[in-house]
Structure 1
Amino acid sequence: MTDTATALTTQVYRVWIKATPERIWAAITDPEWNSRYAYQAPSYYELQKGGAFHATATKDMKDYAASQGFEVPDTIIDGEVLESEPPRRLVQTWRMLMDPSTAGEPFTTLTFEIEDAKMQAGVCKLTITHELTGAPATAAMVAGTDDMGAGGGWAWILSDLKTFLETGKNFAE
């Protein structure tokens, strides 16, 4: 996995996955799949220009927050689909609502690109580009560099996605 944070305002992450573009697309956009790796928060997409996007908090997230003395909203991330070209490209706006510092920032732009790897049949390159202009708290959180204990950001999510698609198990299993 290559994790290249070109700057906090533009972060680019790449991973090569032994899976078809269709499986990777489904793992990103289908709540039956995207709830099975990383933070396991189901994400819902209306896969058309102007379509809604949102991710919902899990019971574990809500329980953890309550044990720490704060609440997590039901919708933890929201946005809008700007482009949808299954199974190759998805561009959306993205805003994290779990924390007041990120919820108060502007929407950011997130792009998923899925390409066949030129070096190996049956392998795809997944690139995530996250444009984070004007959103320093979000940039720190998704880079996995924050001190708030939010986890490993996009690098961790992509690593777990790769593991899940290639083995059928996520990091927690």
Structure 2
Amino acid sequence: MTTETTQVYRVWIKASPERIWAAITDPEWTSRYAYASPADYELKPGGSYRSMATQEMKDFAKANGFEVPDVIVDGEVIEADPPRRLVQTWRMLMDPGTAAEPFTTLTYEIEEAKMQPGVHKLTVTHELTGAPQTAAMVAGTEDDGAGGGWAWILSDLKTLVETGSSLAGR
């Protein structure tokens, strides 16, 4: 598993930049793909960001002898330029190891794809300096129980935006 200090992920999506932006920032969308965690953004510099635990996450944790906090990821908006660019800090609070690490920086960039009209490239850059546990978690792998990380999240976001249904059928 990679624990690089900068991880970059790209996906091409056949949708408008406004629709992709909504899928990233609107809790109605974020609760429908990947880990189904509703995201709450205050889309202005200095604004807050929170991603909330679902009841399914809480039930799973309880059944396995641990607890998950209500807020599983938090941060602050650094830059918001809808529907093209979002820069924020990001800290995973789901376990004590990642919660103890410093905030990382996450950048979303939505650009028109040169190869095909109506297709947009979404690039996610995650700066993870000083956060090796978070880096391992977001790199993801199904093999070690870490989940799919950013690759899974972006694959599911793309599927939902293009088809109206997530990989899990939400």
TM-score after normalising by structure 1: 0.94
Q: Give aligned pairs, total.
A: 169
More displaced, 148-157 or 47-56? 148-157
What does residue 82 of structure 2 align with? 86
C-alpha RMSD of matched pairs (Å): 1.5
Deviates more, 1:23-32 or 1:147-156: 147-156
Partner of 1:12: 8
Q: Partners of 1:147 and 1:156 in 2: how far apart?
A: 13
The reply on whether 1:159 has 2:148 as its aligned counterpart is no
Q: What letter matches 1:142 in structure 2?
A: V
Partner of 2:131: 135
Q: Deviations over 1:106-151 (max 9, x none)?
A: 0000000000111100000000000000000000000004875231
SS of structure 1 residue aligned to 2:116: coil
Mean CA deviation greater in 7-16 or 79-88:
7-16
Q: Aligned pair 1:100/2:96, yes or no?
A: yes
Measured after TM superposition, the shift of residue 8 of structure 1 is: 1.1
Q: Equivalent residues in 2 for 1:1-173 (5 A)?
A: 8-145=4-141, 149-173=145-169
3-state SS of the aligned residue for 1:94? strand
2: CA distance, partners of 1:161 / 1:62: 23
Contact (CA 8 Å) 1:16, 1:117: kept in 2 or not? Answer: yes
Provide the rounded CA distance (Å) in 2 between the counterparts of 1:153 and 1:88.
22
Give the gaps of 5 or more residues in structure 2: none
Counterparts of 2:26 and 2:19, CA distance in 1? 10
Runs (4+) off by over 6 Å: none
What CA distance in whole angstroms lies between the structure 2 residues aligned with 1:58 and 1:142?
A: 19
Equivalent AA in structure 1 for residue 112 of structure 2: D
1:15–1:162 contact (8 Å) kept in structure 2: yes
In percent, how many aligned pairs have the same letter?
A: 75
CA distance in 2, matches of 1:22, 1:6: 32
Q: Is the contact made by 2:48 and 2:77 (CA closer than 8 Å) also made in structure 1?
A: yes
